[in-house]
Amino acid sequence: MTELLTAAQMRALEMAAIESGDVTGLELMERAGQGVVEAIFEEWPELMGRGTSPSRSPGYLEPDEKDPLRAVVLCGPGNNGGDGFVVARLLKERGWDVEVYLYGDAEKLPPDARVNFERWGKLGAICVPCEDGGFKYPIAGIVVDALFGTGLTRPISLGEGLFVDFNLLGDPGMSGGTKVVALDLPSGLCSDSGKTVGPALFADLTVSFHAQKLGCELGNGPERCGKTVVKDIGLERFGVIDHPHHSGSKTVGVTAHPWRGAVGKKRGSHKYANGHALVLSGGHGNTGAARLAARGALRIGAGLVTLGSPRSAMLENACNLTAVMLRQIDGALGLTELLEDARFNAICLGPGLGIRADTQAMVLTVLKENRPTILDADALTRFSAKPEVLFDVLHEDCVITPHGGEFARLFPDIAERLDAPATVGPAYSKVDATREAAKRAGCVVLFKGPDTVIAGPDGRCSINSAQYERAAPWLATAGAGDVLAGFIAGLMARGFAPMQAAETAAWLHVECARKFGPGLIAEDLAEQLPAVFRDLGL
């Protein structure tokens, strides 16, 4: 699992390193600048070693000239700006024409940034922005955004021209061939929440130091960051703040591919050793969602899967099932009788179940059994009028999987805080919201989205990203969430702990979508699992 850090955690790590006496702030700043230059040439190797003569002044440029080897470095008033001065100096030493703009008072720069400001001053001038914050000649091969990184606490107000000249507020790749490189985060993006705090820049490449920041994965982060890379600045020996999988951890991780020993079935096992999942179906005309979940549970490895159906939908379900078994269940009483069979060791309720009164009764019946339970869709919406009724009976072997609307119905106060525009940073994030919801509910909460956040009541938290190289926009299709609920149910039937089941299922869900590609419909997801498992070496 890849570690993500908040701004405060990153500052604590840097301070621990500096206070140890093993490294100075200046050395960290130099390493950061070197990492940025490395990242630029790794991303665009055609630019390496092709700098122009160091003696040529950028003033020779005419407004209609396009020089891919001219860099404009935008430095802010803090240590992010200090990193920018290092980048400018290193590019200049490679023969690039470099212009540096300082947005702030040089006399107020932090000590380390001030040193690098003065080092740059021996090589080139500090340019003065136009009155609107823009540039005399807005033409460059690369713009380096070193204005505000993780320390952003307020909207940036540096003049409209700053953003207009290089189309820095436009879509990435639309800046007339200019490549925009952000240090740690694009300026204007909250490092903890991924929300924009006022105007925010778009980058083609974002270079983070030591570890990626939460804001790169949440909210507007992925669309603003472009491609992300992490550069080592020598902080590993000072350790991780705490591990994402430790109880009470404040650190967040990005889910990675599951350990194949956990996902694969044991040789020689029989079907009952891999659990028996029960999925409850809605009535006539509302059965497809439950069948999607049941198929997902079976494909992911549950030994047996039974679909519990009301009488009105028995024929409809029977005509569409083969390997999934079918049992008639009419209401909470019928469910109570069925659950006398202790072999049902994971139960999924919600997909297509309906929001009638007996839905609530069936949910409460299942939860009183204290068996591993997955609640999705209608099983959550049914409690929107009185969520506390649900929270009172949820237990630690439960997973609830709301999308944004369902989350807002169950946790209206949390959702309101999450949806509020960010006016200062660090802003309240989806991670904060999911952790708070999990603590209130007393179980694992999987808050769906391209930046799916999974949190346990003990504080553990991870992000399952369907963005950057794992982007799968075609996953936004009807029924995809039902399949995910089935995946979780199947894994819990096999004995996975709730957090492990949710993380593993979410990761496999995205991999199945990526395996199929555009044109995906929900029925395709579970059918990709065999190929995904083969790719994992199972």
448 annotated binding-site participant:
yes
**How many helices, marked H, and strands, marked E, lie in the chain?**
20, 19
153 annotated binding-site participant:
yes
Task: Give me the pLDDT at residue 66, please.
Answer: 47
Show the DSSP H helices in 373-425 as ranges: 378-381, 387-391, 404-410, 412-419
326 annotated binding-site participant:
no
Task: Give me the pLDDT at residue 56, please.
Answer: 42
149 annotated binding-site participant:
yes
134 annotated binding-site participant:
no
- pLDDT over 50 at 53, yes or no: no
283 annotated binding-site participant:
no
Return the higher-pLDDT residue of 431 and 56. 431
449 annotated binding-site participant:
yes
% of residues, the chain, pLDDT over 70? 87
Give me the amino acid identity at 124. G
Domains of the chain: 2-245 (3.40.50.10260), 269-535 (3.40.1190.20)
336 annotated binding-site participant:
no
303 annotated binding-site participant:
no
Q: What pLDDT, in 10s, does the model give residues 100-116?
A: 999 889 999 999 999 99
Task: Give me the pLDDT at residue 367, please.
Answer: 99
452 annotated binding-site participant:
yes
20 annotated binding-site participant:
no
Taking the C-alpha atoms of residue 169 and residue 162, their distance in angstroms, rounded to an integer, is 9
427 CB-near residues (< 8 Å, 6+ apart): 190, 192, 193, 195, 197
524 annotated binding-site participant:
no
What mean pLDDT is predicted for residues 495-518?
98
What mean pLDDT is predicted for residues 155-168?
59
Is 457 within 8 Å of 439 (Cβ atoms)? yes
- pLDDT over 50 at 64, yes or no: no
What mean pLDDT is predicted for residues 22-51?
92
Task: Give me the pLDDT at residue 15, please.
Answer: 94
Task: Give me the pLDDT at residue 256, please.
Answer: 80
Taking the C-alpha atoms of residue 91 and residue 93, their distance in angstroms, rounded to an integer, is 5
Return the higher-pLDDT residue of 395 and 272. 395
HSE value, Cβ hemisphere, 13 Å, CA-based, for 26: 8
Q: Which residue in 378, 380, 373, 379 sits closest to 498, CA to CA?
A: 373
243 annotated binding-site participant:
no
Q: What pLDDT, in 10s, does the model give residues 374-388?
A: 999 999 999 999 999
237 annotated binding-site participant:
no
276 annotated binding-site participant:
no
155 annotated binding-site participant:
yes
81 annotated binding-site participant:
yes
For the CA atoms of 151, 155, 160, 164, what is the dihedral angle to 10 degrees?
A: 60
Tokens of 526: 């579970």
- pLDDT over 90 at 216, yes or no: yes
Task: Give me the pLDDT at residue 269, please.
Answer: 73
Mean pLDDT computed over every residue of the chain: 90
- pLDDT over 70 at 239, yes or no: no
What mean pLDDT is predicted for residues 204-225?
96
451 annotated binding-site participant:
yes
184 annotated binding-site participant:
yes
How many Cβ atoms sit within 10 Å of the Cβ of residue 169?
Answer: 15
82 annotated binding-site participant:
yes
352 annotated binding-site participant:
yes
